[in-house]
């Protein structure tokens, strides 16, 4: 049985119910931890499910962040330092990763609070997540306001990629499932992936 919802039905949902419902509709999303650091050297960590590929040449990633109506340490850090990291979440540390969605005080080190380890690679000033098998050093390119709901699209360029060697196949494909990388369904459901099924390049 299919249940139909109109816009008026969605508008009338209880706030938290609507958030879960609408966030689930876009499908499985990438699960990443954003690592950043403020100008006082305090490390910040935040789980995001909005990272998207924007292009391979140059290698660009986009990331949507919520309205700036309350303190957003990650966004402020990115604006100040112009760099950040994206770290894929693995099944073996998913609980600690999800805990980073809690609202900690600005002066608290969120790596310490959630029980994950930061590391600094190749002179990059933003912290990577040591436990992650795939981690990207990002340089800020542009912040694009989305006027309709007050969110912003953060566009970044990959300047470093640290990838588990045994996940990289001969044609450049990176097997996320081989490293236990999870996806996110909705706001708080983490999904493990089965082996990928690949197809040849489609031609008419």
Q: What is the pLDDT of residue 167?
A: 97
Adjacency order of strands within the sheet including 151-163: 43-48, 32-37, 83-88, 134-146, 151-163, 59-65, 52-56
Q: What is the pLDDT of residue 70?
A: 53
> 153, 144 in Cβ contact below 8 A?
yes
Asked whether residue 16 is domain-assigned, the answer is no
Query: Closest Cα partner for 47 from 112, 102, 98, 120?
Result: 98
Positive or negative, the CA dihedral 160, 183, 180, 98 is positive
CATH code of the domain in which 157 resides: 2.30.110.10
Domain of 32 in residue numbering reads as 28-192
Q: What is the pLDDT of residue 195?
A: 76
Asked whether residue 199 is domain-assigned, the answer is no
Residue 136, strand partner residues: 86, 161
Q: Tell me the pLDDT of the chain (204 aa) as tens digits.
A: 999 999 999 999 999 999 999 999 999 999 999 999 999 999 999 999 999 999 999 999 999 998 665 567 899 999 999 999 999 999 999 999 999 988 888 888 999 999 999 999 999 999 999 999 999 999 999 999 999 999 999 999 999 999 999 999 999 999 999 999 999 999 999 999 877 888 988 999
Asked whether residue 22 is domain-assigned, the answer is no
Positive or negative, the CA dihedral 54, 137, 66, 50 is positive
Look-up: residue for tokens 């979440």? 89
**Number of domain units in the chain:** 1
> 53, 61 in Cβ contact below 8 A?
yes
Asked whether residue 15 is domain-assigned, the answer is no
Asked whether residue 197 is domain-assigned, the answer is no
Asked whether residue 131 is domain-assigned, the answer is yes
Adjacency order of strands within the sheet including 29-30: 29-30, 182-185, 189-192
Q: What is the pLDDT of residue 71?
A: 60
Positive or negative, the CA dihedral 118, 121, 123, 128 is negative
Q: What is the pLDDT of residue 174?
A: 97
Given the DSSP bridges, would you call strands 128-129 and 182-185 parallel, antiparallel or unpaired? Answer: unpaired
Tokens of residue 90, six digits: 């693995």
Q: What is the pLDDT of residue 67?
A: 65
Asked whether residue 167 is domain-assigned, the answer is yes
> 121, 24 in Cβ contact below 8 A?
no
Q: Residues 145, 20, 185, CA angle at the centre, nearest 5°?
A: 85
Asked whether residue 1 is domain-assigned, the answer is no
Q: What is the pLDDT of residue 104?
A: 86
Tokens of residue 132, six digits: 């992650």
């Amino acid at each position: 049985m299919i249940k139909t919802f109109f816009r008026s039905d969605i508008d009338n949902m209880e706030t938290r119910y609507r958030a879960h419902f609408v966030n689930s509709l876009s499908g499985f999303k990438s699960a990443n931890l954003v690592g950043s650091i403020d100008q006082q050297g305090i490390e910040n960590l935040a789980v995001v499910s909005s990272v998207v590929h924007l292009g391979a040449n140059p290698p660009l990633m986009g990331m949507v962040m919520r309205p700036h109506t309350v303190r957003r340490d990650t966004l402020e850090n990115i604006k100040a330092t112009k760099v950040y990291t994206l770290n894929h979440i693995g099944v073996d540390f998913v609980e600690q990763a999800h805990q980073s969605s809690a609202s900690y005080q600005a002066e608290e080190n969120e790596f310490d609070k959630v029980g994950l380890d930061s590391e600094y690679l190749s002179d990059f000033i933003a912290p990577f997540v040591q436990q992650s098998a795939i981690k990207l050093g990002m340089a800020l390119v542009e912040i694009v306001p989305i006027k309709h709901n007050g969110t912003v699209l953060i566009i970044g360029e990959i300047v470093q990629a640290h990838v588990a060697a045994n996940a990289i196949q001969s044609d450049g494909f990176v097997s996320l499932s081989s490293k236990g990388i999870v996806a996110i369904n909705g706001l708080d459901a983490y999904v493990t992936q089965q082996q990928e099924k690949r197809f040849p390049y489609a031609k008419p």
